[in-house]
Amino acid sequence: MAERAEPGRPPLRRDAELNRRRLLAAAREVFRDRGLAATLDDVARHAGLGVGTAYRHFANKEELVDAVFDAMIDQVEASAREAATDPDPWHGLASSLEKVCELQAHDRGLREVMLGTGKAAQRHAVVDRRIKPLVDPLIARAKEQGALRPDMEHLDLPMIQLMVAAVTDQTGEPDLWRRYLRLLLDGLRIQPEGTQPLPPAPEFRGFGPGAYPGGTTTPRS
């Protein structure tokens, strides 16, 4: 089935559609692994296409980043829609937040988009416009059931995501974020049965990506 043209963009020929898809798939991988320092030339090379082809589809790297970001938000929205139908609102809220944090943890480009400057505010507004109508009723239901603290607000969720993303950036640990997400979730939840056990803590080695070489908590000899 042919890819639907974007609003304001004329329909593409079949070969042009395929090239655009290849560029988007390559950009997702390149930005995921190398972050936003990667260039449009890097993406074209990874896609096996000439840089001229890349520039025929995207005027600059920022336009390509926007296209990749939009596809990521589709994933986040799908997760939020699934959570909104969960009969247990706390489970739906927590599992949706965990999926988003996992997506960030394994995607350097997405973390840089969310933590960055410039167009970051516009991108956050796009996320809020698409996700808030799905998450707000979930928050309300969780409060009504007494599972969520009554003073929790919708804007607390992106703040949690930013904090959790910073753990990965500062340590290089691929899964350490799970421990700190659990701590933050325990702070949101009203838990008559008590808190859940935490994932293991790391040996502290300072801050910065080089503090935990190889992404491991195993002590160095």
Instruction: Give per-residue pLDDT as tens, 93-141.
Output: 999 999 999 999 999 998 888 777 567 778 878 888 999 999 999 999 9
Q: How far apart are CA 158 and CA 204, in angstroms?
A: 26
* Full set of structural domains in the chain with CATH: 14-59 (1.10.10.60), 62-191 (1.10.357.10)
CB 166 within 8 A of CB 180: no
State phi, psi for 84 to the nearest 5 degrees.
-65, -20
Say what the pLDDT of residue 192 is: 65
pLDDT > 90 fraction of the chain, expressed in percent and rounded = 57
Q: Which residues of the chain have pLDDT under 50?
A: 1-4, 215-221
Predicted TM-score (pTM) of this structure? 0.77
Question: What DSSP assignment string belongs to 6-17?
Answer: PTTSPPPPHHHH
Mean pLDDT computed over every residue of the chain: 85
